[in-house]
Structure 1
């Protein structure tokens, strides 16, 4: 098993970042994401919005890995997110559904106000456990190393892409004169259950 971890601070308040999360795809940098489908959405009695999504991804993979996975080019990821307005946290957990008997990737992302920056920034923490399953440990190591590198590349691209989405939405919100404190509540009200 290999681990991946990163932290970043977005220079936007938590409510803006959380509202923008629902409009992250499609974007010009994360072209590997080809579909996002909402499977379930509920609000529990503590006011936590729970959303389950199915995300389709298409990425090229090395020929040696294509041989192991049978040439599949589209993979699916199940993501469960929980937005807690009271505690100002957004936690997203995802796991690949495609070929998880060969390679299992469990990712956790947490967005919360950055206390060191007067709550005007949002702290982003991302971690992933990447485990390959094969009878030969050298193959496992090679698959895990390649997967961590690809995950790292996608994480860097994803961070830039999300910054672009935040910039675009911030401009739109400012042009419309939207009160920033009500952004997330407005986005939650728009969601269909």
Structure 2
């Protein structure tokens, strides 16, 4: 087993960083993402928003792994919880196939700090049960790739943050992100569009609390 943890502090407030995280696909640093679809979404009795998304990724395989894996695509499930009152996002992802070769469990947490900035904490557990003397090699390769991808993921989020800043969008609740498709970030976050000028934006669903919220 290999374990990885890292923290990063964004200067932007929590609503903006969290919105950028959920709208991170597509971006120039995520060409390996083939699709991202919402499977389910619901409010809890305490007012948090639960979302499950299914993501299809494509990755390059090292030469020694091509005899074990006959395709480079992998399905990943993402389960998130948004707490707008506590200003915390918790998101967990794990691969659904190739799990005997390697299982990657990743957790992302976004939390608002007292100074208005946003702290991102990344944790990952990587386990291989392949055996045949290759377990260590597979885990070492996977953790090295994960570390490289963390930087690219952060750069992708920064692209979306820049688009939001350029558009001068006001901070919005995370449920607002729930009504935007991942490919809407680039289309909506442009300086020339506004709610007053764009009928499609004016008619977009807005955030509302569930009736059974305490």
Q: Is the 8 A contact 2:20 2:161 kept in 1?
A: yes
Q: Distance in 2 between matches of 1:37 and 1:187?
A: 17
Structure 1 counterpart of 2:78: 79
Q: How many residues align?
A: 181
What is the TM-score normalised by the length of structure 1?
Answer: 0.88
The yes-or-no answer on 1:122 pairing with 2:113 is no
Structure (1/2) with the larger helix percentage: 1
1:36 aligns with 36
Normalization by structure 2: what TM-score?
Answer: 0.80
1:127-154 alpha-carbon deviations (Å, 9 max, x no partner):
1000011233x30000000000111111
Matched, 1:145 2:140: yes
Give, in angstroms, the shift of residue 188 of structure 1: 5.0
Alpha-carbon separation, structure 2, partners of 1:109 and 1:44? 20
Partner secondary structure for residue 47 of structure 1: coil
Report what 2:62 is aligned to. Answer: 62
Measured against aligned partners, the alpha-carbon deviations of 1:1-28 in whole angstroms (never above 9, x if no partner) come to 0011111011110011112222110101
Runs of 5+ consecutive residues of structure 2 not aligned to the other structure: 181-204, 206-214
Runs of 4+ with >4 A deviation: none
Q: Deviations over 1:30-85 (max 9, x none)?
A: 1111110100000111111000001110010101112122x211101001000001
RMSD: 1.6
Rounded to whole Å, the distance in 2 between the matches of 1:108 and 1:88 is 17
Q: Which has the higher strand share?
A: 1
Q: CA deviation at 1:101?
A: 2.0
In 1: Cα distance, 2:157 partner to 2:58 partner: 19
**SS where residue 133 of structure 1 aligns?**
coil
SS in 2 for 1:129: strand
Q: From the superposition, tell whether residues 6 and 185 of structure 1 become closer, same or farther in structure 2 (CA, over 3 Å).
A: closer
